[in-house]
Chain A
Amino acid sequence: MTPLQRTLESARIVLCVGHGGVGKTTITAALATWAARHGRRTAVLTVDPAQRLKDTLGLGRGDGPRRVPLTLDGARGGRGARAGHLDAYLLDVKRTFDELIVALAAPEQARIILENRLYQNLSGSLAGTAEYMAVERVYRLADEGGYDLVVVDTPPARHAVDFLDAPRRLLALLESRVFSILKDPTTILPAAGSRLARLVLDAVLSGLERFTGIGLVREVGDFVRAIDTLSIALAARIRAVQATLAGPGTALVLVAAPEPRLVGETGVLVEALGRTGLRIGGIVVNRSLPRALFEQPADLSPPENLPSALVGRLRRGHADMRALAARQEAVLAPLVAKARAPVVGRVPLMAAGPGSLAELAAIGAHLFPEADEPVARARGLAQ
């Protein structure tokens, strides 16, 4: 069994991170499909606002799970395997936030918060909230969803770091001065809490509201006061989520494509991940050219009986592909060194983009070599 397979057999949460354009979504789907075929009750969640996984898995919009069929023509059937299944989820930030409030607050309190106009505006769009709610959703699926494994397609690049760092930042926000300022805005003025301070601030705020025409500035305070009654429960919850994310049951898989531009961006992501204290467990290299074909000498004797013009074109085509393969190897090595993680899978560049479950299975076949399964089955028979 390969390290990647071991991870998918044992982890509770697998987070796929990578820069946009590396095929992260497809790899995520392939990993989840393999796990489900091998008996794990699996959920796959996409956080990407562009909802690409939806395309790959043939989903519509919405937050509810869709059962993804695993028996396909041409796919390797898990004969005699335990029954696993695959549910696909799309993140609905607002609904996740609502459910969290309802779970943590007393009914009356929950109603006040949910009806606050600012909350309604904010719950879907506050920078950082989307990322936190994604983590919350992952935690809930893993903890209460009845799944063995949750595979997550994280947002691309710098948003991936926001995502992984979300619990810490939200905690910092709850404990920050800004939060107490918003609760009682007069605390920023020298004579905090005095009537004069309040009068001055009221003047400033109403000036701001007149200028902007937006009555929301004042409502921030109302909202923060309401949510403050929850802050202890919320903080405890966030700590639990944070512990799960950093715990041994969570594996981080970096998806990289060996193209110079994408490698550069992925390197930036790796550095940012390092700062959050999360470790990369393994690297999946997507879109690599099959090395074996291009390691051979450039001056091969041409195939026989071909028109000379075609031979010239064939030679040039191969030379270009060969140069591309060499460049791929050259840019990939420093990235692997920087990530300090092993390459656990390689998927070749395919001429046709993956867009169906059958093609997903083809990618799975590259990630999880064919040889493994028959060998394992033969061993099972021998015992």
Chain B
Amino acid sequence: MSDFQFYTKLDQTILLGKKANNIPELLDGIRSVPDSCIYYHTHRFLQQHHYLSPEPPNDFAYWVTQVLNDDVLGEQLSSVDIIQFQSIAELRSRFVSLIHAHITTVEKGGDCPRGEEFHFVACRTFALPTPYIARTLAEFKDALERVSVNALYYHIFDAKLRLERGENDFSKWFNGIGKPDLAEEVRNLDPYSHTLEGLRKRIIVMVSRHDTN
């Protein structure tokens, strides 16, 4: 198994110039925007508010609840358990089916106040290698203490859902160095219910427990 190269990632925010005034327009947008836009709106709070726990919901749920005052749909959208999805396409389809069902069974509701439209935004991600490379669990733990939360974010969130690698990069490497139990423990974490610093600490504790050398 090769060494573990820690990458970090930095995002550029792209304005799509597309907006929604009401729930049908939100649905239309969610259906047509690029994957990176769905990813942005379901992960922005995690990155921008990564110190908050429990963190605010995804952008769609936040807008529907706070601006359109539709608590029912807002709750449904905020309850989408992102960790169960393996791709953005699956995640998108879940939002589409929830909103579509809501529109067909409940009255459509009105437009948002002027100036509070939902603006669709996407992201471009730039991944770059950091100077941190681990050959052993001890080195891994040491590096994980030093890298930025962006690196943690890349290997846990981007790797699984956006890059569709099936699982997070850490578990994959732990398996490769003969630590399947550690891999399983990290795989079973719900990263969406931790702050990023909290997640970092949890993983460091797990690694320390398995580092018997």
Is chain B found bound to chain A in the same assembly? no
